Amino acid sequence: MENKRIDVKNIVKHFSPAWYASVMGTGGMANVLYLLSENMKFLKPFALGIFWLNIALFIIFIVPWTLRWFFHFDSVLKDLKHPVMSNFFVTMPIGALIIGTNLFVMGKDYFSMAFIINLGLVLWSFGAIMSLYFGVYVMYNLLAKESVSFEAKNFSWLITPVASIILPLLGNMLVKVYFISNVSLAKFINIIDISFFGTGFMLFVILTTIIFRRFIVNKMPPSMVAPTFWILIGPIGIGTVSLMGLADASKLLGLISDVSTIKLLSLMFWGFGMWAFFLILAITFTYMKAGKIPFSLSWWAFIFPMSAYTLSALKVYAYTKVSFLQWYAVILAVILVYLWIITFVKSVVGTLNGKLLVPPTMKNK
């Protein structure tokens, strides 16, 4: 009798936009494992399996995500006006962009390049439009409020800038292929990517300042919010990869003549990520020492930022050839896989028992 209220209608009504954070993290980890499989061949089948799992997750989630807009718009609107939950709507277009990168990295084993390129362009366009829409709406929503409680100020606010920073990740892949067949389109993609990166980077700087001030001036949030601290390394990691890719794409198109200065700045940005990573480790251990971190969908905040940071370590190693960075990336990947397995298993259990599908009070009615 406990689960009689867990029906399709209530699942759709209470479907959290944060579910797409699992697509972000799973797709990011698939890319990491596939890149590592160049030297560790045994990882390739695991990477490809996770690649297909991620596509399945995206397709499954799109059904309740879309139906909710049509049949429970009042619930959607309530979440959109919330200073924290509103940030998670952009995880859906980010998930689409990650799927696009998965196709370019691993899809060639299953699909034609024409299909990958065309679908990649669709996903890039969709990601750009939706990221801009949610990005403007979320910031307007914060500015329009008379006040925002300090409890609502946490690193989940950085998810919106992530959408803008991650767009070039797929865009740079498209530029390389369209440079051969359609230079005008390649230049258009490149300038849009640059514009979005600039937007995301400035928002990252501004919002990070606000959030750090909140934590310095006020008490730390409850343990349930602890995973959101990890979001800090997401924009840094993916920003490093995107900026290095933008340098190469812009040089390819003749917009700049040299990439060394931009890549040096990328390395500096990545270095800040190393500081941020050890900071969030210290904070996480402090929370764990004080007690357990209760499981919720916020645990997926461990995964994508970690996958982004690991990917950036691999990118920096490929550029510098410093052997220490290769081993550092492998250690990060081990931590990433460990966190993903725990979070994925707990998510499956939470789905099967209904705890992640509807509010606890619903199950007792």
In a domain, residue 110? The reply is yes
In a domain, residue 2? The reply is no
| Per-residue pLDDT, 4 | 47
Given a contact cutoff of 8 angstroms between Cβ atoms, the answer to whether 239 and 276 are in contact is no
Q: Find the domain containing 209 and state its range.
A: 8-363
Spatial distance between the Cα atoms of 171 and 168, rounded to a whole number of angstroms: 4
Summarised one tens digit per residue, pLDDT across range 195-227 is 999 999 999 999 999 888 888 887 888 888 889
In a domain, residue 108? The reply is yes
User: 363 vs 2, 193, 307, 319, CA distance in Å?
Assistant: 5, 45, 34, 53
pLDDT above 80: residue 319: yes
Compute the mean pLDDT over every residue in the chain, rounded to the nearest whole number: 92
| Per-residue pLDDT, 364 | 45
Summarised one tens digit per residue, pLDDT across range 257-294 is 999 999 999 999 999 999 999 999 999 999 998 888 89
| Per-residue pLDDT, 221 | 81
In a domain, residue 3? The reply is no
SS3 call for 14 = coil
In a domain, residue 149? The reply is yes
Spatial distance between the Cα atoms of 324 and 332, rounded to a whole number of angstroms: 12
Counted domains in the chain = 1
pLDDT above 50: residue 111: yes
Summarised one tens digit per residue, pLDDT across range 52-64 is 999 999 999 999 9
* CATH code, 209: 1.50.10.150
Length of the chain: 365
User: Which of 244, 250, 251, 245 has its CA nearest to residue 268?
Assistant: 244
The mean pLDDT value for 346-353 works out to 93
In a domain, residue 1? The reply is no
pTM of the model: 0.93
Burial 68-80 (b: 16+ CB within 10 A, else e): beeebeeebeebb
In a domain, residue 327? The reply is yes
Summarised one tens digit per residue, pLDDT across range 133-192 is 999 998 888 888 767 766 667 888 899 999 999 999 999 999 999 999 999 999 999 999
In a domain, residue 333? The reply is yes
